[in-house]
Amino acid sequence: MSTDYDQIYALIREVRKGEVASYGMIASLVPGVGPRQVARAMRAAPSDLKWYRIITASGAMADHSGAEEQRRFLKKEGVTFKKNGAVDWSKHRWRGPSQRWIKASVRSFEDIMEIVAGWGGR
């Protein structure tokens, strides 16, 4: 549904330069949406969306044709990688949505906080 996609895009716009989020992290904030749906939304992502800030839970680039390009974009934004080539989550993990986004969410502030806490802030 287009509505879900818009929710997903809105969240990704919350991820700032030098930060990265996983498909699962984004999905967990949109009721009824799973990781695979976030991935599906990426295929039709608006050209101005910073799609490359979304990676897999393991820290690797998802398996798609633009993976190499994605790695370059992230590097250019200052994202660092570990020996195995995966993004260093402890240094670049997205902190969560802004206050403004939370207010617009159907979910309670507490629920959002619990979800974000589950990402293991480190």
- Is there binding between residue 7 and DNA (CB under 7 A)? no
User: Which segment (9-17, 48-56, 91-99, 108-116) binds DNA by CB under 7 A?
Assistant: 48-56
Q: Does 104 bind DNA (CB under 7 A)?
A: no
By CB under 7 A, name the one of 8, 9, 15, 23 that touches DNA: 23
Do 42 and 54 contact (CB within 8 A), yes or no?
yes
Q: Does 110 bind DNA (CB under 7 A)?
A: no
Q: What are residue 55's phi and psi, to 5 degrees?
A: -130, 180
Q: Rule CB under 7 A: is residue 56 a binding residue for DNA? A: yes
Q: Which residues pair with 54 in a beta bridge?
A: 21
φ, ψ (nearest 5 deg) of residue 45:
-65, 145
Q: How far is the CB of 103 from DNA (least distance, A)?
A: 26
The number of C-alpha atoms within 13 Å of 103 and in the hemisphere containing its C-beta is 3
**Does residue 68 touch DNA according to CB under 7 A?**
no
Residue 67 vs 104, nearer CB to DNA: 67
Tell me, rounded to whole angstroms, the distance of Cα 102 from its chain centroid: 16
